[in-house]
């Protein structure tokens, strides 16, 4: 919570709470066993207190109330120390992704209100796949404590199933094979639902870019005698895994034959046949570098195929308020809208090439590959980092130390969206300008 003055955040200000979920018993266990060691008891109490401002069994908004209610409910003194404590608790929840705090300005009034939007805790699988959250929990409870907590949240697979390598076939019934609708569209119903809906719309999840490779394309090219063939056969009907494979192929410019070759290598599947996505991405990145050196003709052909595929992919729009200026290297090749759309939607491997007239230096490519594979920064955030490093004046930026420092700082500050990355870059620019102004004025003060 960024508060410039304590007078902007007092017990006299009003607040409301918004949530679009209800806590399940598993969510409550996650809050108690996993999140509370990281947040502390006070912040955990604040989360629970805010949650119950919206009646159980409902979602949406709470009524407006004075923040005095928060202070009394948490046993905080209504003074500067109590305000600092409440702001600190909210900041912890915000940093862990459980809370979003917004200041609301009413037209024609000087007073402001606060909106606390709660987010459900991650599921056990999502949490332990998140590197920085797992590392923070390790710092709080120790390595063996993390392992013990993970085991306490999962029910193991029955031994009879775990002992065998099973082939899974999806036999679920699709909606339109069972139900028939009287009409495909009901505009009156949609309008009525829109008018009576008391809550904000849930954000639409965009489709992930894909290389368009089907299961049949893989199994047709896959060696029959391969030890991994039974695992590849399990991909039939597994839409999530095929989507992950297609994104890796799209990102590194792989065709069906290349992807089949990677799936035939060791360590891509574990002993139980689970796909090891990180290992696959590492091998794909290595193949990507080798192909650029040895097969330039095939790389050009793959690039044309990718451009045709990209034309069919839905794009994320960029608001004008989040535009970053076109760097001098690309001046005249695209306007500011085109440049920001590329930065928002292209994989970093393709966006990085636009800043170099020839091949990208190997050490630069490896550095951003490391940030992608190990830091898990989203693609648009990495592209904003590329803009910050190569698209702005100052050759001193192009060093391994500088790139590593900026990426680490982004990770620590939870910069996980394009808009947050743009805000981060703008803040850094202001800091640099202030530093330059101070340095320029230093001789005059003497």
Cα separation, 322 vs 421, in Å, equals 10
Please return the burial class of 357, using the count of CB atoms within 10 Å of its CB with bins 0-12, 13-18 and 19+.
Answer: exposed
Q: What distance in Å separates the CA atoms of residue 412 and residue 143, rounded to the nearest whole number? A: 20
CA distance 257 to 250: 13
Is 56 a residue whose pLDDT tops 70? Answer: yes
Q: What number of other Cβ atoms are within 10 A of residue 30's Cβ?
A: 22
| CA 191, chain centre distance (Å) | 33
- Condensed to tens digits (0 to 9), the pLDDT of residues 178-225 reads 877 776 567 777 777 776 665 555 554 555 566 788 888 888 888 888
8-state DSSP, 11: T
Q: Within 10 Å of residue 241's Cβ, how many Cβ atoms? A: 15
- Check residue 446 and give its pLDDT: 45
Helix (H, G, I), strand (E, B) or coil at 101: strand
* Six-digit token string for 88: 């600190």
What is the rounded distance in angstroms from the CA atom of residue 257 to the CA atom of residue 220?
A: 10
Residues near 283 by beta carbon (within 8 Å), at least 6 away in sequence: 262, 265, 268
Most trustworthy range by pLDDT among 164-168, 174-178, 214-218: 214-218
- 3-class secondary structure, 61: strand
Give residue 257's pLDDT: 86
Mean pLDDT (whole number) for 56-62: 90
- 234, 167 Cβ separation under 8 angstroms: yes
- Dihedral pair phi/psi, residue 51, rounded to 5°: -60, -45
What confidence tens digit (pLDDT) does each residue in 87-144 have? Answer: 999 999 999 999 999 988 887 777 889 999 999 999 998 999 888 889 899 999 999 9
Single out the residue of 263, 253, 240 nearest to residue 285, CA to CA. 253
Q: How many helices (H) and strands (E) does the chain have?
A: 23, 5
Is 149 in a helix, a strand, or coil?
A: helix
Q: Whole-angstrom Cα distance, residue 129 to residue 62?
A: 33
The residue written with tokens 């410019």 in the block is 253
User: How big is the CA angle at 378 (ends 18 and 126), to the nearest 5 degrees?
Assistant: 60
CA dist., res. 385 & res. 378, Å (int)? 11
Could you tell me whether strands 65-66 and 14-19 are parallel, antiparallel, or unpaired per DSSP bridges? antiparallel
Could you tell me which residues come within 8 angstroms of residue 26 by beta carbon, excluding any fewer than 6 positions away? 123, 124, 153
262-272 mean pLDDT = 86
Bin 203: left if φ > 0, else alpha if -120 < ψ < 50, else beta. beta
CA atoms within 13 Å, Cβ hemisphere of 293: 7
Burial of 144 (0-12, 13-18, 19+ CB in 10 A): exposed
The sign of the dihedral angle between the CA atoms of 417, 422, 423, 429 is positive
What pLDDT was estimated at residue 360? 83
User: Is 165 within 8 Å of 230 (Cβ atoms)?
Assistant: yes
Residue 211: Cβ within 10 Å count:
23
Residue 97: burial class (beta carbons within 10 Å; 0-12, 13-18, 19+): middle
pTM over 0.75: no
- By the 8 A CB rule, do 377 and 385 touch? yes
pLDDT grade for 382, boundaries at 50, 70 and 90: very high
If you average pLDDT over residues 242-266, what whole number do you get? 87
């Amino acid at each position: 919570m960024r508060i410039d003055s304590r007078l902007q955040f007092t017990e006299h200000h009003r607040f409301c709470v918004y949530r679009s979920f209800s806590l399940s018993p598993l969510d409550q266990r996650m809050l108690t066993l996993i999140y509370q060691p990281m947040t502390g008891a006070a912040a955990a109490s604040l989360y629970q207190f805010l949650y119950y401002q919206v009646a159980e069994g409902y979602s949406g908004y709470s009524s407006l109330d004075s923040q005095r209610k928060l202070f009394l409910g948490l046993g905080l003194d209504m003074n500067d120390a109590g305000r600092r404590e409440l702001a600190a608790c909210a900041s912890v929840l915000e940093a862990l992704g459980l809370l979003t705090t917004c200041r609301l300005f009413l037209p024609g009034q000087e007073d402001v209100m606060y909106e606390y939007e709660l987010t459900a805790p991650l599921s056990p699988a999502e949490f332990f796949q998140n590197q920085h959250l797992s590392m923070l929990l390790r710092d709080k409870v120790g390595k063996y404590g993390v392992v013990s907590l993970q085991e306490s949240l999962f029910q193991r697979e029955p031994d009879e199933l775990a002992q065998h390598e099973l082939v899974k076939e999806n036999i679920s019934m699709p909606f339109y094979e069972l139900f028939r609708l009287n009409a495909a569209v009901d505009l009156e119903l949609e309008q009525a639902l829109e008018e009576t809906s008391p809550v904000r719309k849930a954000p639409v999840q965009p489709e992930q870019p894909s290389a368009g490779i089907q299961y049949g394309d893989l199994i047709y090219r896959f060696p029959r005698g391969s030890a991994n063939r039974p695992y590849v056969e399990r991909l039939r009907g597994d839409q999530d895994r095929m989507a992950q494979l297609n994104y890796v192929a799209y990102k590194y410019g792989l065709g069906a034959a290349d992807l089949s070759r990677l799936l035939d290598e060791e360590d891509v599947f574990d002993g139980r046949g689970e796909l090891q996505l990180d290992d696959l991405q590492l091998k794909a990145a290595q193949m990507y570098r080798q192909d650029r050196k040895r097969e330039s003709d095939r790389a050009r052909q793959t690039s044309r195929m990718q451009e045709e595929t990209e034309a069919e992919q839905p794009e994320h729009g960029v608001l004008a308020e989040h535009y970053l200026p076109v760097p001098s290297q690309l001046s005249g090749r695209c306007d500011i809208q085109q440049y920001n759309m590329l930065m928002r939607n292209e994989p970093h491997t393709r966006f990085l090439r636009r800043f170099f007239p020839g091949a990208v230096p190997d050490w630069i490519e490896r550095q951003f590959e490391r940030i992608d594979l190990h830091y898990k920064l989203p693609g648009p955030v990495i592209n904003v980092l590329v803009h910050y490093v190569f698209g702005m004046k100052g050759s001193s930026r192009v060093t391994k130390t500088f790139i590593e420092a900026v990426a680490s700082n982004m990770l620590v500050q939870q910069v996980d969206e394009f808009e947050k990355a743009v805000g981060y870059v703008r803040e850094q620019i202001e800091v640099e300008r202030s530093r330059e102004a101070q340095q320029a004025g230093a001789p005059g003060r003497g």
